[in-house]
Amino acid sequence: MRKPSSDIERRKRRRRRRIQVVIIYTAIAVGLAWFFESQATTTVIFVRHAEKAAMPADNPGLSAAGQRRAAELKRQLVDADVVAGVDAVYSTPFRRTEETARAIADALDLPLNSYDAADTEAIMENIVKVHKGQVILVVGHSNTLPALMGNMGASKRVPAIAEDEYDNIYIVSIPWFGKTKTIRLRYGEPYIP
């Protein structure tokens, strides 16, 4: 006995609705996955340049102690992110900051991006926008790092960095939602006040 055409039509409509529901749920799931991936946490690692040489006075490179510290920084950060490592490296255009950052940039086959330490707001805004969800190393100076971190929404209570203090690593974690966190670690030869 044949089923009435209305029963067959009803089954076809149910099947179409099920397919539509599956397609809608799949689209929502893909959209949410894309949204949360695009809103990933950005991590910025700040360090001061390593120990500088005494000469030349206007733009010194690293001393022997500074070269050892830069090598230790490279050892610490080359595998900082267990998935991919540091994604970008920024440095001011001075020899001491470039030499500190170059070892890591070269080890990871990354370009060394230069920034103007006098324009802290613009560089931090650019870093967060361009490198969203990545791990970025920023090498700066004792008098610029607190302002750089402050412009990212990090802790305003970063202590002043002494003239001969080179062992700080500041890790600023910027989530897509929630509070920015600041962590201070030490590396290499310890600073003794």
pLDDT in tens, 94-150: 999 999 999 999 999 999 999 988 887 888 888 888 888 889 999 999 998 888 888
The 10s digit of each residue's pLDDT in 55-67 is: 888 899 999 999 9
Higher pLDDT, 40 or 161: 161
Sheet containing 88-91: give its strands across. 112-114, 88-91, 135-140, 42-48, 168-174, 181-186
Q: Evaluate whether 158 touches 149 at the Cβ level (below 8 Å).
A: yes
Higher pLDDT, 36 or 97: 97
Amino acid sitting at position 15? R
Nearest C-alpha neighbor of 125 from the set 99, 178, 116: 116
Q: Supply the pTM of this predicted model.
A: 0.79
Q: For 13-160, list the strands marked E by DSSP.
A: 42-48, 88-91, 112-114, 135-140
Q: Which two three-digit tokens encode residue 113?
A: 């991006």
